[in-house]
Amino acid sequence: MTSVRTPGWADVTAAAQLLDGIAEVTPLAHSRWLSEVAGTEVLLKCENLQRTGSFKLRGAYTRIARLTADERANGVVAASAGNHAQGVALAARQLDTRATIFMPEGAALPKVQATQGYGADIELVGVDVSESIAAAVEFAERTGAVLIHPFDHPDVIAGQGTVGAEILTQLPDVRTVLVPIGGGGLTAGVALLREVRPDVRVVGVQAAAVDAYPPSLAAGHPVRVDLGPTMADGIAVAEPGTVPFGIIHELVDEVVTVGEDAMSQALIGLLERAKLLVEPSGAAGVAALLDRPGAFEGPIVPVLSGGNIDALVLLEVIRHGLKAAGRFLTIRVHLTDRPGELMRLLTDLSSMQVNILNVLHDRASTALGVGEVEVALQVATRGPDHAEHVLRRLDQLGHAPRLSS
């Protein structure tokens, strides 16, 4: 069995030279909002502003650039629902080789179009990425194209590690780096900075519904888990990669998990307070900071790993985040079915400065008594304190409100 080389800091510095003029040196943006939350300085590493909208170009270009001329002549192949697909497609175009990308049949149209726009051939196969990967492996075996793995290869990890190299240059006194973690390529790459800066703490952040790393680290080897539903599709990986797992096991201080509410609230906070559009997986580090204020030594750098989010998904995530923050409520009340009752309810809400978004009037429910109607209202409030006041006041006025999901 062929052993796989483990990359080191020298590989990261070599990758940085290779990527000079190819990948952007993304900004490190100070966040007053998060600094106040954490009680220490917080700066955001904005990989959402990278070419293709995520860090993935770094690893894909490094991997393809190190192929032989004969290997590149056969083309490259990858499987991805979004960010890795775009990174491979652009890298292949830059290096004048053909790229074939297998994507799930339900992949978001903007991501499919963006990948095509970088010149890749697209094959829509399977209902999820695992089926797309199987098709990509078969294609590689049949055609001789080189499979570009999204995280389980030393060159990919070295390329992603240039994010950490830039952080050390931009903020030499950094103390903690928070990195979203799926398969582990980005986190492993960033963790290599500890070879030269062991004083810097690197923390991986994983979505709780897809937390393959905590049980794997406890077991001492990669463990496959069942994936739960999550908005963080960019880090929804069932099993850690072998190469990144070894590095993370040795160099990463801790892997923490965050829930859906925390990620959606982090996304909204970044949008409203930092004016940055970030996908849910890219906001995982900020979610950990919001969940655990005061837990990390500063200066702290959360890595915003990507900003590719479908507009329809964004609408749902914003709605989820507003609801989690108590700024969006769905209220159900029963009213007597007579003229003026609905107007009285709406007038009461208006007097409390509530913005009414939607009203559904139902007379047909079997749960209603004779002469009753149910009214479901979607309303916007100014926050959890205001929401609590609205519910309490409606109850005092005799409306007996019930919250609905």
Question: pLDDT (tens digit, 9 = 90+) per residue, 235-258?
Answer: 888 889 999 999 999 999 999 999
R_g of the chain computed on alpha carbons: 24
- Pair 230, 351 in one domain: no
This prediction's pTM: 0.85
Judge whether 103 and 112 are in contact, CB under 8 Å: yes
User: What percentage of residues in the chain have a pLDDT greater than 90?
Assistant: 62
Which of 109, 124, 153 marks a domain boundary?
153
Q: Do 250 and 187 share a structural domain?
A: yes
Do 142 and 16 fall into the same domain? Answer: no
CB atoms within 10 A of CB 27: 14
Provide the domain count of the chain: 3
Same domain, 369 and 307: no
Which runs of consecutive H residues, i.e. helices, occur in 25-108?
32-38, 56-65, 69-73, 83-94
What's the CATH code of the domain at 65? 3.40.50.1100
The predicted structure's pLDDT at residue 363: 67
Same domain, 233 and 253: yes
What angle (nearest 5°) sits at the alpha carbon of residue 202, between those of residues 197 and 206? Answer: 165
> Which of 110, 125, 153 is at the close of a domain?
153
Q: Looking at the domain assignment, is residue 377 inside a domain?
A: yes
Mean pLDDT, the chain, rounded, equals 90
Identify whether residues 374 and 238 lie together within a single domain: no
- Compute how many other C-beta atoms are within 10 angstroms of the C-beta atom of residue 358: 9
Query: Whats the size of the chain, residue-wise?
Result: 405
Surface-to-core class of residue 169, CB atoms within 10 Å of its CB (0-12 exposed, 13-18 middle, 19+ buried)? exposed
Domain check: are 291 and 364 in the same one?
no
Say how far residue 65 (Cα) sits from the centre of its chain.
Answer: 27
Query: Residues 163, 275: one domain?
Result: yes
Domain span including residue 378: 326-403
Degrees, nearest 5: CA angle 131-127-321: 120
- Residues involved in catalysis: 56, 305
Residues 6+ apart with CB under 8 A from 36: none
Q: Which one, of 151, 139, 192, 182, lies nearest residue 13 by Cα? A: 192
> Does some domain include residue 1?
no
Look at residue 323 and tell me whether its pLDDT is greater than 90: no
Buried-state track 326-339, b at ≥16 Cβ within 10 A, e below 16 = bbbbbbebbbeeee
Tokens of 115: 């990948």
Whether 72 and 146 map to the same domain: the answer is yes
pLDDT tens-digit series, residues 12-60: 999 999 999 999 999 999 999 999 999 999 999 999 999 999 999 999 9
Residue with tokens 């390529």: 185
Give residue 47's identity as a one-letter amino acid code: E
- Model pLDDT, residue 1: 40
Q: Are residues 133 and 226 in the same domain?
A: no
pLDDT at position 364, please? 66
End-to-end CA distance of the chain: 53
CA distance 309 to 90: 18
CA distance 288 to 233: 17
Task: Say yes or no: 278 and 353 in one domain.
Answer: no
Residue 4 lies in a domain: no
Task: Say yes or no: 149 and 235 in one domain.
Answer: no
